[in-house]
């Protein structure tokens, strides 16, 4: 298996090279087959890794070559698959494969079909490097690579200026976070003398807690950028400018969970830094509630899902901050299933509606798009925490961990965020698929269910969203596989210690039952009440100008974009104008231009000597000779 390991990331890279270089001349069907086929190969290899790791938890490693050797810094281009990496690899390649297949249908009429698949494959390659690297530098490679692909794919329809601006916004926001990650890496190297996970984690015992706290906070800044947490979350909703499969793959299922992966990978460090953990928890919870409130009043089907993603990521960080790393990874997994499902189903709706994204112009799609409706329903129920669906289990674990570590108030706030999830998701579901059709007659005529190539991945994801929760059932339910994922992650890492040690939760069984009961009861009540609420026409979302009071604030995203605009964008623009006019035009250009003008003026004087009269030259020559001659005597 060690020899085959490099194939996992390099198969998608091959797909990228082939599609990127020759895709324009290849038929679309072949481009699609290459794009998804390489990914299927990577997925199968990942499954083989998974099997081997299931039998023996020792990580599979493969150092390709010495990448960098400067002074005390030795960095190998090393790939590995330990139990945490392989889990991410399965999500990335598995969900990624389904989304590739879906894209064949979704992007079929697009000019840049081959380019789209090339970018997607490059993204998968980068993401695999990120999760498979044996050191922080490899992670950083992947980290930057996915950022680049995210930029390319958000701005995929680059003729639209707004989309290009959204792409730049995402890139710049991510760069701010990347700076934190980079500084964290510098500090890690300065403190531990290495960037290898194995060395760093082994030396963690004797490290100064204050330094470790600083490292954790810096790494978390990186995670904030990539995983869209306050204050760097505003790029993710704008990232919905990209094609919908991109939103599903990159901005919901995989890339945005890189921050979670980073923190989970470094759980040993965060365990040493309670202060950093508290910061992670506070930021996560705040993001979760804040963006859920915004999500309540959005009317773009993809924007609602985007804010929902940020909110769910916030819950994952809350879980990380509470020390429940397995719960966070569990939620990453289930979230990848149902959020990819929801996005792809939304894509199917947009496809059927001919590009319409505003839910106020939809309604009643249940009859026209039955498959999409049913999978969307499953996704909504799963994310809302409907009993026994996947989101129910993963969220319940997060809530229980929050209660155990943080107490009732933390639990209450987290549960409120979960409640809001149910509210905005049910609103989205009922407004879109129930009631009467509100679009134009042309749209109604055009309305159709998507082709099989799109609906089959939806059905697969729907099944996963239903059963995904069984991966890590709580012990008190006695379903026979209790805490399977927690045991899986307690396998050995590269430094010989458990990747995520098994944590004991000190809660009574009755308390756990109660917490679970309250949360799921709330979710069910919301799902039912919303149905009756939004099936009445007078409760439908109103147009932007009619928004009032608090809901206007929600609809305008708490004016955070305007605030950032005022605080950062405008001062930067003002500063750059000053630099433009005074430093660049007046200063630098002035030096160059005035030097040129000076030389020109001097030439103007000297050119008078060259009047073309030969006698004049001769007189000059003789006079010069006489002067030289005289100077010898003087």
Partner 1 sequence: MLEIIRQVPVEYYVLYSAILFTIGVMGVLIRRNAIVVLMCIELMLNAVNLLLAAFSTYLSDSKGQLMVFFIMVVAAAEAAVGLGILIMIYRNTKSTDISLLDKLRN
Q: How many CA atoms lie within 13 A of 489 on its CB side?
A: 24
The distance of closest approach from Cβ of residue 613 to partner 1 in the complex, given in angstroms and rounded to an integer, is 6
Q: Is 611 in the site for partner 1 (CB under 8 A)?
A: yes
The distance of closest approach from Cβ of residue 629 to partner 1 in the complex, given in angstroms and rounded to an integer, is 12
Which tokens hold the place of 391? 């989101």
* Member of 510, 615, 630, 632 binding partner 1 (CB under 8 A): 615
Beta carbons within 8 Å of 338's beta carbon, 6+ residues apart: 378, 379, 382, 383, 390, 391, 461, 465, 468
Q: Is 504 in the site for partner 1 (CB under 8 A)?
A: no
Q: Is 600 in the site for partner 1 (CB under 8 A)?
A: no
The distance of closest approach from Cβ of residue 621 to partner 1 in the complex, given in angstroms and rounded to an integer, is 9
* Member of 21, 599, 602, 619 binding partner 1 (CB under 8 A): 619
Binding mask 165-194 for partner 1 (x = CB under 8 A): ------------------------------
List the Cα angle 92/95/101 in 5-degree steps: 120
240 alpha carbon, distance to own chain's centre: 11
Question: CB under 8 Å, gap of 24 or more: what pairs does 188-194 form?
Answer: 188/136, 188/215, 189/73, 191/215, 193/72, 194/73, 194/74, 194/135
Q: Is 614 in the site for partner 1 (CB under 8 A)?
A: yes
Count the residues of the shown chain that bind partner 1, applying the rule CB under 8 A: 9
Single out the segment in contact with partner 1 by CB under 8 A; choices: 174-182, 211-219, 490-498, 611-619: 611-619
C-alpha torsion 329→330→332→338, nearest 10: 170
* Member of 506, 613, 630, 631 binding partner 1 (CB under 8 A): 613
Single out the segment in contact with partner 1 by CB under 8 A; choices: 181-189, 455-463, 560-568, 612-620: 612-620
Single out the segment in contact with partner 1 by CB under 8 A; choices: 45-53, 218-226, 539-547, 615-623: 615-623
- Residue 286: CB atoms within 10 A of its CB come to 18
Alpha helix segments (H runs only) across 80-160: 83-106, 113-132, 136-154
33 alpha carbon, distance to own chain's centre: 26
Q: Is 622 in the site for partner 1 (CB under 8 A)?
A: yes
DSSP-derived secondary structure for 530-558:
HHHHHTSGGGSPPPGGG--HHHHHHHTGG
CA dist., res. 194 & res. 190, Å (int):
8
Beta carbons within 8 Å of 64's beta carbon, 6+ residues apart: 6, 76, 77, 78, 79
Cβ distance to partner 1 smaller for residue 510 or 613: 613
The distance of closest approach from Cβ of residue 620 to partner 1 in the complex, given in angstroms and rounded to an integer, is 10
The distance of closest approach from Cβ of residue 602 to partner 1 in the complex, given in angstroms and rounded to an integer, is 19
Which tokens hold the place of 577? 């104008």
Single out the segment in contact with partner 1 by CB under 8 A; choices: 343-351, 468-476, 479-487, 618-626: 618-626
Among 489, 328, 318, residue whose Cα is nearest residue 403: 318
Cβ distance to partner 1 smaller for residue 72 or 603: 603
The distance of closest approach from Cβ of residue 633 to partner 1 in the complex, given in angstroms and rounded to an integer, is 15
* Member of 209, 618, 624, 627 binding partner 1 (CB under 8 A): 618
Positions that interact with partner 1 (CB under 8 A): 610-615, 618-619, 622
């Amino acid at each position: 298996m060690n020899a085959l390991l490099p194939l996992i990331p390099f198969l998608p890279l091959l797909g990228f090279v082939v599609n990127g270089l020759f895709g324009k001349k290849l038929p679309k069907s072949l481009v699609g087959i290459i794009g998804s086929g390489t990914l299927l190969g990577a997925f199968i290899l990942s499954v083989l890794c998974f099997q081997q790791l299931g039998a023996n938890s020792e990580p599979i490693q493969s150092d390709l070559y010495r990448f960098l050797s400067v002074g005390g810094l030795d960095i190998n281009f090393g790939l590995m698959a330990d139990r945490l990496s392989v889990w991410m690899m399965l999500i990335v390649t598995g969900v990624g494969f389904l989304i590739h297949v879906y894209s064949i249908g979704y992007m079929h009429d697009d000019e840049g079909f081959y380019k789209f698949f090339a970018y997607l494959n490059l993204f998968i390659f980068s993401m695999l490097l990120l999760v498979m690297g044996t050191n922080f530098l490899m992670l950083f490679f992947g980290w930057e690579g996915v950022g680049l692909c995210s930029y390319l794919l958000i701005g995929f329809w680059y003729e639209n200026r707004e989309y290009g601006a959204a792409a730049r916004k995402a890139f710049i926001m991510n760069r701010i976070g990347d700076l934190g990650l980079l500084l964290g890496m510098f500090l890690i190297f300065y403190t531990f003398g290495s960037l290898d996970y194995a060395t760093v984690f082994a030396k963690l015992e004797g490290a100064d807690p204050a330094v470790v706290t600083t490292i954790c906070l810096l790494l978390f800044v990186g995670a904030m950028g990539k995983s869209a947490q306050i204050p760097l979350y505003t790029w993710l909703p704008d990232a919905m400018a990209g094609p919908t499969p991109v939103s599903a793959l990159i901005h919901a299922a995989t890339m945005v969970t890189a921050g979670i992966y980073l923190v989970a990978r470094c759980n040993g460090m965060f365990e040493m830094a309670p202060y950093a953990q508290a910061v992670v928890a506070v930021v996560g919870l705040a993001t979760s509630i804040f963006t859920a409130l915004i999500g309540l009043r959005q009317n773009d089907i993809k924007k609602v899902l985007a804010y929902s993603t940020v909110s769910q990521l916030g819950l994952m960080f809350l879980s990380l901050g509470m020390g429940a790393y397995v719960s966070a990874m569990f939620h990453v997994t289930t979230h990848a299933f149902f959020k990819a499902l929801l996005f792809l189903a939304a894509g199917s709706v947009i496809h059927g509606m001919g590009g319409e994204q505003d839910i106020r112009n939809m309604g009643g799609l249940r009859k026209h798009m039955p498959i999409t409706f049913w999978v969307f329903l499953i996704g909504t129920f799963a994310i809302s925490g409907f009993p026994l669906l996947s989101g129910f289990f993963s969220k319940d674990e997060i809530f229980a961990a929050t209660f155990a570590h943080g107490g009732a108030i933390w639990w209450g706030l987290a549960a409120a965020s979960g409640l809001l999830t149910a509210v905005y998701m049910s609103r989205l579901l009922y407004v879109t698929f129930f009631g009467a059709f509100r679009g134009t007659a042309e749209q109604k005529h055009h309305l159709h269910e998507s082709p099989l190539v799109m609906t089959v991945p939806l059905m697969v994801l729907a099944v996963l969203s239903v059963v995904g929760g069984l991966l890590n059932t709580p012990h008190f339910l006695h379903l026979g596989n209790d805490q399977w994922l927690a045991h899986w992650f307690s396998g050995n890492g590269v430094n010989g210690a458990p990747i995520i040690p098994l944590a004991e939760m000190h809660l009574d069984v009755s308390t756990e039952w109660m917490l679970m009961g309250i949360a799921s009861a709330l979710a069910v009540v919301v799902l039912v009440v919303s149905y009756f609420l939004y099936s009445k026409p007078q409760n439908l979302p109103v147009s932007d100008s009619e928004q009032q009071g608090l809901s206007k604030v929600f609809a305008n995203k708490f004016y955070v974009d305007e605030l950032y605009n005022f605080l950062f964008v405008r001062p930067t623009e003002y500063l750059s104008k000053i630099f433009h006019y005074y430093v660049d035009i007046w200063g630098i250009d002035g030096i160059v231009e005035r030097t040129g003008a000076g030389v020109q003026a001097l030439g103007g004087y000297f050119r008078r000597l060259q009047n073309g009269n030969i006698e004049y030259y001769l007189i000059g020559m003789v006079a010069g000779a006489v002067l030289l001659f005289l100077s010898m005597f003087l």
